[in-house]
Structure 1
Amino acid sequence: MATWLGLVVAMAALLVSALTAYVAYRHRREDVQTARVTAYFHWNVAFAKVSLGDGQEPVQVGYNLVVWNQGPASALRVGLVIMDTDGRVVDLAGVDEDEFPLDRLDGGGRYPVQFAARDKRYHGVRRYQAKLTWTDGNGRHEHVVPLRKGQTSL
């Protein structure tokens, strides 16, 4: 009887060990396949001039919006939509129509965009939201990042 009980305990311990190893493997695999995409404002020391189009005067731009993949895996089909705090889409003059979604943003990769709104009512506005979408080894993701202009640099 004692041998039987010892065998059951040993089998249970083996099962728990195997399950723990499997869970650790899955977590590690998910981490390796994860892209963590975010966005931030980068303050430029020197201003750049950006054309707003339609014969408007160029505006001076002091910020770049940087899309950053902090994860180890590549982010595919990275989409970016800039919105004001009320959720209205803000059209950026420095972004071409077909620029987003980006095909690929590798782990650690950064993609800067000159931040100049075409609509003059946004000139001087400090708060925005960036809606980011991407696909990685764990599926499709969507993330909204609140943004505020300020003298920062990462």
Structure 2
Amino acid sequence: MPDHAEMRLDVRTVPGFGRDEAIAEIARLCGDGIGLEPLLDLPGVATAPSDATAPSDATAPSAAAAAREILAPGSSARPAEYATYFTDASVLTGRLGDPAVVVYGPGDPDQAHVTDESCSLGAMNESAEAMHRLLRRL
């Protein structure tokens, strides 16, 4: 039996269950005699449905409306949902005044960051066209 062991956990927190709550729960589950050392701590990001559907500024479109407008009719894009993977939004939102966040891009989220990750050319073209429409709109 070894006298020492280490384990690394990748815990993705969400607003309302952050770093402190995660550490407390891990410590509770592991019991006495363990040490916890956070290696990277980035906040979870969530856009509340009210923020995503009703603009706070009459001149700015809501996040959800903007997302619907850039997608082509009949698009294969998935319906809006929370992303369970890391995005730059975790780093950028606080520095940009906490705007509503929409993560959009080609491919299947289940394929992100896996061995042999892939994305169809059709999905890449569809995403590029949606971004082009958004840029023209802006």
Fold equivalence (TM over 0.5): no
- For the aligned pair, the TM-score class normalised by the smaller chain equals under 0.3
Structure number with larger C-alpha Rg = 1
The TM-score, its normalising length taken from structure 2, stands at 0.24
Answer 1 or 2: higher relative contact order, Cα 8 Å, separation at least 6.
1
More strand by share: 1
